[in-house]
Chains A and B, each alone.
Chain A
């Protein structure tokens, strides 16, 4: 039998917990910067949450500059962007009321009719809908976090639940911070990505916690730090393998999946990396706050 799995030693012995202070400082800084960015710069909200009109066209014999000139004479807040290749252009407009927007789609279409080969899509989201969507997205994320925590709490001791919350909150904030820096459009699909990241990150954390619990039963005398280190090392090759296969699929989606799905794939890629990092360097060290041993002896 062949196999390159020996790259990762069968029984690795890396002192992850020894580095916990450095990573803790790194993460705290990252979270603070993220919160700062989110409150100052904010997210690049797409029309799902901001409302407005979006039209994607494929063009012929024209340039983005020409189209911008045609449109900006009628609309002050129009923005144009190449989407994938130079012949496909995305036009965004802000509208104050619903009625205005519906007419906008029509009149924009009329203005650029002769430059356009195909109107690939048009989207319009009214202000009432966009705030509802934002609210429901928020609701979905919060309920998902709560439900996952309840599950962890039922399956493990509550201390593990606490570790999971810390890691999860860390992942969501860190990811949002990076989305803000990278100016990735925040849409309904991003909410889906964030929820999936939450699921993925917990998945990763659960696998390590499972091992911590098992080792707590197995090695009654081992120092907690060593025991946690051992657990992380036991599961290390799985952690790396699964992250890599998931990333392979996501990178493929990012490169080949088309322009529309790209922000989603990017968000997921960021989230998977952060989620994997936090399982090892945030979730497990958080468990050190609690003294598992005395409780074990009480049982």
Chain B
């Protein structure tokens, strides 16, 4: 072999072998393999293996409004303590404006308010106090809400028995969920669609006029029934005890009541619950979930054991789902599903099969074409092309990239584009062969001259692929990954492997002249 350094042949051969060896796990594709080597296989995206992708948005506006409501309640309490009359309260989008009957105690009111809510912007103007939710305050609310939501979502998904879910924050106020293999996203959506804020309130049965006028006095709220929207309850606004005091909840079946959820309080909850039920025998206790009354049984005796059951018109699934929600805890704010993409396993399998067929047929066509045009050199380029495919697969497997449907398209496209570098080289060799007759010199010049063009041409494609990765989402990223890997692999196979093969061929065939 003339002029071909040993180290170069060694590098080329070992890289090619590595490329083939590391493609094996992905080609065998044993899903459940525990073997350390076979585990290095390509991850399939949700669009290929089936599953659900959900993007949830935390409804922060609800939280901001809630906080403004808290401000109002606190101001009322403070003004009561200070014995100042409130004339009017104006709740705007971002601030609460309170008009007081006199302006003497404005500073005191402001200071006591500030004690409770540090960080809000307070402004006094004559008898007017404006309380503003400023950006920092909103950001604190936002961050803690997202953090809490993430945790609750994770618990709920875990409880639902989903395998290997991916749950992460996305942007300022969104949560991204990837649930591989989930066939029925509806149930997950149901689970995530509820805030699951559970509270117990004493029912006020005495103040009938308030209910009739639909006007709750201070300290009370009117809450509708879950099943009958014409029925309303007047409840104490302050909850006796809430879902945060639950330690356990599970679906149960009661002979007389049907499906129910049985629950147990922690020590604090049990104490509160015991005390309230002792003091309010004869009254009704409403169980409120997400702003509706599920049930409001009469307290017939003190419940001091710290456990109880919630009955409603549940079926078995509803009861057990409610139990899941109660165990996981309440979301700080409702979640809205802003994007959903679910693929069934059938379509995923079809896509893989179609992708494989397209890749194989594309490959065969390109190979035939190359041989027709370039003869033996074309066959050598085909070896490079096939190795190229192995390298892409092994790189995808070892770096743990995810293969998506557009990713498969990227691979097929790469098959067509990967021969470009070879074509550039061969065309140069063809030109050089007109100028001189020394076989190895022709080949050397051909490769050297084609080099800068190959780099320029491939770098521009890489730029497009990298930007696609930076700005693209999900499946599109899969495309940019396979495209970039393909472009890089094709540079290696053309400049190193084809080079090596051409030298080997010319040496062994002992060619004295070269016509391409």
Cα-based distance from A120 to B420 in the complex (angstroms): 38
Partner of B468, one of A11, A144, A250, A258: A144
The answer to whether B343 touches A188, judged by C-beta atoms less than 8 angstroms apart, is no
* Least distance between B494 CB and chain A CB atoms (Å): 12
Task: List chain A residues, Cβ under 8 A from B516.
Answer: 1, 3, 5
Inter-chain contact count A-B, CB under 8 Å?
A: 248
Task: Give complex CA distance A106, B184 in Å.
Answer: 11
Quick one: which of A2, A118, A129, A202 contacts B339, CB cutoff 8 A?
A: A129
CB distance from A100 to the nearest CB of B (A): 11
CA distance A4 to B373 in the complex (A): 4
Cβ contacts under 8 Å, A238 to chain B? 420, 423-424, 427
Task: Produce 1/0 per residue, B447-459, CB < 8 A to A.
Answer: 0000011001111
- Is B373's CB under 8 angstroms from A241's CB? yes
B461 on the A face (CB < 8 A): yes
Within 8 A of A (CB), among B300-343: 336-343
Stretch from B72-80, B213-221, B277-285, B409-417 forming part of the interface with A: B409-417
Interface residues of A in 105-149 (CB under 8 A from B): 105-106, 109, 118-126, 128-129, 133, 136-137, 139-140, 143-144, 147-148
- In the assembled complex, the CB of B483 is this many whole angstroms from the nearest CB of chain A, namely 7
- Give CA–CA (A260, B351) in the complex, Å: 8
Residues of B within 8 A of A235 (CB): 427
Q: Which of A34-42, A59-67, A192-200, A282-290 contacts B (4 or more CB under 8 A)?
A: A192-200
Asked if A260 and B361 sit within 8 Å, CB to CB, the answer is no
**What is the number of residues of chain A that contact chain B, defined by CB distance less than 8 Å?**
78
Is residue B55 within 8 Å, beta carbon to beta carbon, of the partner chain? yes
- Least distance between B433 CB and chain A CB atoms (Å): 9
Main secondary structure of the interface of B (DSSP, over half): helix
Beyond A5-B430, A188-B476, whether A199 also contacts B463 by CB under 8 A is yes
Query: How far apart are the CA atoms of A226 and B410 in the complex, in Å?
Result: 38
Asked if residues B409 and A264 are in contact (CB atoms below 8 Å), the reply is yes
With a cutoff of 8 Å between Cβ atoms, the chain A residues found around residue B419 in the complex are 241-242, 245
Whether A246 sits at the interface, judged by CB under 8 Å, is yes
Cα–Cα, bound, A98→B461 (Å):
38
CA distance A102 to B336 in the complex (A): 9
What are the residues of chain B within 8 A of A147 when measuring CB–CB? 463, 467
A293 located at the interface, meaning its Cβ lies under 8 Å from any Cβ of chain B in the complex: no
> Contact at B412–A203, with CB atoms within 8 Å?
no
The answer to whether the Cβ of A252 comes within 8 Å of any Cβ in the partner chain is yes
Contact A126 B457, CB 8 Å, known A5-B430, A249-B412: no
Docked complex Cα distance between A62 and B412 (Å): 36
Q: Residue B338 contacts which of A129, A139, A144 (CB distance < 8 angstroms)?
A: A129
* Closest A residue, CB atoms, query B189: A102
- List A contacts of B462 (CB < 8 A): 199
Contact of A249 among B186, B341, B416, B456 (CB under 8 A): B416
Q: Contact check: which of A199, A234, A260, A261 meets B461 at CB < 8 Å?
A: A199
Q: Is the CB of A210 within 8 A of B409?
A: no
- Please state if B424 and A207 are interface contacts (CB–CB under 8 Å): yes
Task: Tell me whether A191 is interfacial, beta carbon within 8 Å.
Answer: yes
Q: Please pick, from B185, B338, B376, B413, the residue contacting A253 in the complex, using a CB distance under 8 A.
A: B413
Q: Say yes or no: A125 contacts B336, CB within 8 Å.
A: no
Q: How many angstroms from the CA of A188 to the CA of B474 in the assembled complex?
A: 10
Identify the closest chain A residue to B421 (Cβ).
A242
Q: A4-B372, A144-B468, A207-B453 are in contact. Are A10 and B361 (CB under 8 A)?
A: no
A265 CA to B409 CA, complexed, in Å = 8
Query: Would B413 and A123 count as touching, CB distance under 8 A?
Result: no
- Among listed B62-70, B114-122, B352-360, interface-contacting one: B352-360
Query: Given the complex, which residues of B lie within 8 Å of A133, measured CB to CB?
Result: 473
**Cβ-based interface call for B233 (8 A):** no
Shortest Cβ distance from residue B206 to the other chain A in the assembled complex, whole angstroms: 38
**Judging by beta carbons under 8 Å apart, are B358 and A253 in contact?**
yes
Contact of A151 with B by CB under 8 A: yes
Which residue of chain B is the closest to A118 with respect to CB atoms? B346
Q: How far is the CA of A252 from the CA of B359 in the complex (A)?
A: 8
Task: Say yes or no for A87: interface residue by CB 8 A criterion.
Answer: no
- Within 8 Å CB of A4, what residues of B? 372-373
- Taking a contact as CB atoms under 8 Å apart, the answer to whether A155 and B456 are in contact is yes
Q: Collect the chain B residues with CB atoms within 8 Å of residue A219's CB.
A: none
A58 at the interface (CB under 8 A from B): yes
Q: Does B399 contact A (CB under 8 A)?
A: no
Interface pair B468/A192, CB less than 8 Å apart? yes
**Cβ < 8 Å to B, chain A residues 270-291:** none
- Which chain A positions have C-beta within 8 A of B375? 1-3
CB neighbours (8 Å) of A255 from chain B are: 358, 361
B458 touching A203, Cβ below 8 Å: yes
Give A221 to B430 CA distance when docked, in angstroms: 25
B297 at the interface (CB under 8 A from A): no
B366 on interface, CB distance cutoff 8 Å: yes
Q: Is there a chain A Cβ closer than 8 Å to B151's Cβ? A: no
> Could you list 28 A-B pairs, sorted by A, with CB under 8 Å?
A1-B375, A3-B374, A5-B373, A98-B336, A98-B337, A102-B337, A118-B344, A120-B343, A121-B344, A122-B185, A126-B337, A129-B338, A148-B460, A189-B475, A192-B480, A195-B465, A198-B464, A207-B453, A210-B453, A245-B417, A248-B365, A249-B415, A249-B416, A250-B362, A257-B357, A257-B408, A261-B406, A261-B409
Q: What residues of chain B have their CB less than 8 Å away from a CB belonging to chain A?
A: 55, 57, 185-186, 189, 193, 336-344, 346-347, 350-351, 354-355, 357-359, 361-363, 365-366, 369-370, 372-378, 405-406, 408-409, 412-413, 415-417, 419-420, 423-424, 427, 430-431, 434, 452-453, 456-465, 467-468, 470-473, 475-476, 479-480, 483, 515-516
Residues of chain A having any CB pair with chain B under 8 Å: 1-5, 10-11, 56, 58, 98-99, 102, 105-106, 109, 118-126, 128-129, 133, 136-137, 139-140, 143-144, 147-148, 151-152, 155, 188-189, 191-192, 195-196, 198-200, 202-204, 206-207, 210-211, 234-235, 237-238, 241-242, 244-250, 252-253, 255-258, 260-261, 264-265, 268
Sort A-B residue pairs by CB-CB distance and give the 3 closest, nearest first: A249-B416, A258-B354, A199-B464
